[in-house]
Amino acid sequence: MLATILQNIFNALQWGSFYSMIALGYCLVYGVLRLINFAHGDIFMTACYIAFFIASALLSTFVSGGSVVFVATLILTMIATALVGVTIERVAYRPLRKKGVNRLYVVITALMVGFILENGNLAFLGASSRRFPDILQKELWNFGPVTLTNLKVLVIVAAFVVFGVLQFIVKKTVFGMSMRAISYDKFAIPLMGIPVNRVITFTFALGSSLAAVAGILFGMSYPVLDPYMGMTIGWKAFIAAVVGGIGEISGAFLGGFILGFIEIFIAAFFPSSFKDLVSFVILLIILVIKPTGFFGFAKSTKI
């Protein structure tokens, strides 16, 4: 029994790591713009496919995988996905922001961008699933009855590294301070000489690159890609961010792990068909008790 619990704790840490990394992207954009970027789950899907093509190209050149191919795929995927996020912001969101339209129209635009990414993928790449190439050799490590893989450890470590780097950027860098300033008062900040559009572009690039880290690690862990893979995990990561307290980095990070632990332990001890049902009921109860999430707090809106 103890071995089962320990094994499922590591499984939950891995699963929650994916939710946390994606939830951090939602959190960044919402924290700065008060915009729920519903396209973020599909940016994650796009990152998986970008990593697929980059890794396949590199493997055809270097013949075998390894840490060099992994690092190169990771960096190139982060850059390419950041460009996708920046392009979406420039083409879809910035024109609406300049016109000062109601936030509802921006949210609807975000939903449409997500559908465009999904159906664009479907139209150009087809409905067939693709298998993510083996970049790293999988290694099994046995600690008594508990089994870990190098990939599982890599995912968990990557999530905490991403969280630490993001905290440093937001709290210790000029761009991070500018992001926090815009979240407090976006009307007064331009008067202080802070380039708002540049900071927002940086926010989208950063959030999308986090989705890229999650995407490549997800593809390596669960190597079947399809155009709609970002929808479900994106929605769940968004809910995780809300449960943790959307807009708060620590809250989004914690919310991902809470959802990961709930799902894994329900699937471990109950029929898997109960997983989503019970998980969402528990999350609903949490939000009824604490609507702002664990780390969130009610904020007034300046009109």
CA atoms of 85 and 43, how far apart (whole Å): 7
Higher pLDDT, 103 or 250: 250
**pLDDT above 70 coverage of the chain, percent:** 96
Give the pLDDT band (50/70/90) at residue 146: confident
Higher pLDDT, 156 or 140: 156
pLDDT reported for residue 91? 94
Q: List pLDDT tens digits, range 58-68.
A: 988 766 667 88
Q: Is the dihedral of CA 293, 206, 122, 127 positive or negative?
A: negative
pLDDT reported for residue 302? 47
β-pair partners for 225: 130
Q: List pLDDT tens digits, range 214-226.
A: 999 999 999 999 9
**For the residues of 210-254, what is the DSSP string, one character each?**
HHHHHHHHHHHHS-EE-TTHHHHHHHHHHHHHHHH-TT-HHHHHH
Give the pLDDT band (50/70/90) at residue 300: low
pLDDT reported for residue 271? 84
Q: List pLDDT tens digits, range 184-232.
A: 777 777 777 788 889 999 999 999 999 999 999 999 999 999 999 998 8
pLDDT reported for residue 204? 94
pLDDT reported for residue 270? 84
Contacts of 120 (CB under 8 A, 6+ apart): none
CA atoms of 96 and 103, how far apart (whole Å): 9
Q: List pLDDT tens digits, range 238-292.
A: 988 888 887 789 999 999 999 999 999 988 888 878 878 887 888 788 888 888 8
pLDDT reported for residue 11? 92
For the chain, domains (ranges, CATH) are 1-128+140-289 (1.10.3470)
pLDDT reported for residue 17? 95
